[in-house]
């Protein structure tokens, strides 16, 4: 449903923004500069040399071409067509046909890396029992070759949410251990086909969030859940996410083992995972809320990272989930331990956490699968940070330094990449392009989060790259196209890409200028 809210003028936008942050320039251009202070004074040269700056997308969110060149239907094609959500990715940004222009735009900003994902149904339409689709392989070869031609490092996520519908029908997707073999076959196909040029792999994007959305809340396909989480046709929200996580983790571990043993020695790349990582703050100063915040990390990012680094689940999960939590065999522990060479951190926001073991919570907070805790955005009616367009996502820049430091300490400073960080405007109404592209708030967000990241690096955190989410406005899952994260605006009718102010800011930042003055001419590269 599209919300009709009166259009906000740029003038209002500027005067309603805190004066300490923005200063309208008086240089004859319609421009502004970010006032320099500790939070916004950030330069490319504040990061180590060799640090990769990039942008990110995922296949279903941008590719479109949903039935072209031998691709089979994915679970998201079927889900979105059957009323699971109002919009679909049939066309999305038509990146499938427009990737050359998109790479040109990335090059024009000056990024060093592009994170994208593979459509499973495009290269293995029928999973491991069918043939590899040469047209699918060719498509990603073209992307990879053209990125390299422009000096952009391909950073490839093997699976980001979508999978062939046939696997969902055959196995109930990740509920079945057979999916481990399916995934390993997909990963092997990728290593064989692209590994001579791809030096950074991410096996699976946000396993824990996927398990939670699809098997606990039942809002992503295959939409399985039970009360009080939702009213699905089938499923068990207290148990299935645990099984699904075990399969996702072992799928990752087996693929990483294969890479480490058979491909890394000759191809020389590295392999990691990307976790969705909130920074959790205790709602009150009570000891119980402090413990709940610690537990929240274990139940979210830790659920993925502990097994992938230490070879076992966090203690908090063992304590709260008891016998429902499967254990890893000795062999599995061995290959899971240090199965990642780097940690991918998708960080957008901080959130408060409240303990539910001793306080009254919602029906869902009172469940073991949730770790007996509840995440809340407000304390005494005051939000933890400014609202954004995504639910439970707030602007809390210091959270970046905090989450990086937490992960640094817990995982002995394993190399990290910020694989996603970005801002969506809370104004979900249809605005005119020139208003949508004056995205001062997005610049403010990235600048402050980068300043916070730089602090953690100065403090010794081994962070090696940063990917702005997203390169362009795209299909935002259940939100459709109304929630926009892009540095480039995409017109839904013509699919024309228009650089937002943030694209010009990123370009300017990457050329090592901290002062940013917007020029009309920076709009030239619309196509």
Give 235 or 344: the residue with its C-beta nearer to ligand BGC. 344
Strand partners, 348: none
Return the exposure string of 175-202: e unless at least 16 CB atoms fall within 10 Å of the residue's CB, then b: bbeebbebbbbbbbbbbebbbebbbbbb
CB of 122 to ligand BGC, least distance (A): 17
Give 39 or 476: the residue with its C-beta nearer to ligand BGC. 476
Instruction: Determine the length of the chain.
Output: 527
Active site includes 444?
A: no
Q: Identify the residue among 63, 168, 240, 420 touching ligand BGC (CB under 6 A).
A: 420
Active site includes 182?
A: no
CB of 158 to ligand BGC, least distance (A): 14
Site string for ligand BGC, 470-489 (x = CB under 6 A): ------x--------x----
Decide if 365 contacts 373 (C-beta within 8 A): yes
Give 195 or 207: the residue with its C-beta nearer to ligand BGC. 207
CB of 58 to ligand BGC, least distance (A): 5
Site string for ligand BGC, 178-207 (x = CB under 6 A): ---------------------------xx-
By CB under 6 A, what part of segment 355-394 binds ligand BGC?
A: 390
CB of 116 to ligand BGC, least distance (A): 11
Q: What is the dihedral of CA 486, 488, 493, 496, to 10 degrees?
A: -160
| Cα–Cα dist 43/469, whole Å | 19
Report how many residues bind ligand BGC under the rule CB under 6 A: 11
Return the exposure string of 431-470: e unless at least 16 CB atoms fall within 10 Å of the residue's CB, then b: beeebbbbbbbbbbbbbbbbbbbbbbbeeebbbbbbbbbb
170 token code pair: 């055959």
| Cα–Cα dist 72/122, whole Å | 7
516 token code pair: 């940013």
In the set 374, 420, 444, 476, the catalytic residue is: 420
120 C-beta neighbours (distance < 10 Å), count: 29
CB of 119 to ligand BGC, least distance (A): 14
Pick the closest to residue 229 from 239, 314, 319 (CA basis): 239
Q: Identify the residue among 71, 115, 254, 276 touching ligand BGC (CB under 6 A).
A: 276
Give 252 or 455: the residue with its C-beta nearer to ligand BGC. 252
Helices (H), 150-286: 165-171, 178-194, 207-215, 240-258, 264-267
Rg (alpha carbons) of the chain, rounded to whole number: 22
Q: Identify the residue among 40, 55, 58, 80 touching ligand BGC (CB under 6 A).
A: 58
Give 201 or 485: the residue with its C-beta nearer to ligand BGC. 485
Give 40 or 58: the residue with its C-beta nearer to ligand BGC. 58
Report if residue 162 touches ligand BGC, rule: CB under 6 A.
no
Give strand ranges (E) for 412-482: 416-421, 463-469
For residue 154, the 8-state DSSP code is: E
Q: Identify the residue among 146, 346, 350, 438 touching ligand BGC (CB under 6 A).
A: 346
In the set 153, 206, 316, 476, the catalytic residue is: 206
Task: Give the footprint of ligand BGC on this chain (CB under 6 A).
Answer: 58, 61, 205-206, 276, 346, 390, 420, 469, 476, 485
Provide the annotated active-site residues. 206, 420
């Amino acid at each position: 449903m599209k919300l009709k809210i009166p259009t906000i003028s740029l003038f209002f936008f500027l005067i309603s923004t805190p004066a300490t942050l923005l200063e309208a320039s008086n240089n004859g251009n319609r421009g502004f500069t970010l006032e320099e202070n500790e939070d916004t004074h950030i330069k490319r040269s504040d990061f180590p040399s060799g640090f990769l700056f990039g942008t990110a997308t995922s296949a279903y969110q941008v590719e479109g071409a949903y039935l072209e060149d031998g691709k089979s239907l994915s679970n998201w094609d079927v889900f979105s067509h059957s009323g699971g959500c109002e919009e679909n990715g049939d066309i999305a940004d038509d990146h499938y046909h427009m990737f050359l222009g998109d790479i040109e735009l990335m090059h024009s900003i000056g990024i060093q890396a592009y994170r994208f994902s593979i459509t499973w149904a495009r290269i293995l339409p029928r999973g491991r029992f069918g043939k590899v689709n040469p047209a699918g392989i060719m498509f990603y070869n073209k992307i990879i070759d053209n990125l390299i031609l422009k000096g952009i490092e391909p950073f490839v996520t093997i699976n980001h949410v979508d999978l062939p519908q046939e696997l969902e029908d055959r196995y109930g997707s990740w509920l079945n251990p057979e999916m481990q073999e399916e995934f390993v076959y997909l990963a092997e196909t990728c290593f064989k086909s692209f590994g001579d040029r791809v030096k950074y792999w991410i096996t699976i994007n946000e396993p824990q969030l996927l398990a939670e959305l699809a098997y606990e809340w039942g809002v992503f396909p295959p939409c399985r859940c039970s009360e009080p989480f939702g009213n699905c046709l089938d499923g068990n929200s207290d148990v299935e996410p645990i099984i699904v996580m075990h399969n996702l983790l072992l799928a990752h571990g087996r693929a990483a083992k294969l890479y480490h043993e058979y491909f890394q020695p000759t191809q020389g790349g590295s392999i990691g995972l990307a976790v969705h990582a909130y920074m959790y703050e205790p709602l009150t100063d009570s000891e119980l809320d402090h413990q709940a915040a610690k537990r929240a990390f274990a139940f979210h990012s830790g659920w993925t990272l502990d097994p992938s680094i230490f070879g076992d689940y966090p203690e908090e999960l063992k304590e709260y989930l008891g016998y429902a939590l499967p254990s890893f065999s000795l062999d599995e522990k061995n290959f899971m331990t240090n199965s990642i060479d780097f940690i991918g951190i998708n960080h957008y926001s901080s959130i408060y956490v409240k303990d539910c073991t001793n306080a009254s919570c919602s029906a869902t907070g009172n469940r073991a699968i949730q770790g007996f805790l509840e995440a809340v955005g407000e304390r005494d009616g005051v939000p933890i940070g400014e609202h954004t367009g995504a639910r439970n996502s707030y602007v809390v820049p210091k959270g970046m330094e905090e989450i990086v430091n937490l992960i640094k300490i817990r995982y002995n400073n394993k190399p990290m990449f910020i694989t996603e960080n970005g801002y969506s405007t809370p104004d979900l109404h249809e605005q005119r392009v020139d208003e949508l592209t004056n995205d001062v708030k997005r610049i403010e967000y990235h600048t402050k989060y980068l300043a916070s990241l730089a602090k953690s690096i100065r403090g010794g955190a081994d962070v090696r790259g940063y990917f702005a989410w997203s390169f362009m406005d795209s299909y935002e899952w259940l939100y459709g196209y109304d929630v926009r994260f892009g540095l480039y605006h995409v017109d839904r009718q013509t699919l024309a890409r228009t650089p937002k102010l943030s694209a010009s800011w990123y370009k300017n930042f990457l050329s090592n200028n901290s002062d940013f003055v917007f020029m009309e001419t920076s709009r030239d590269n619309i196509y």
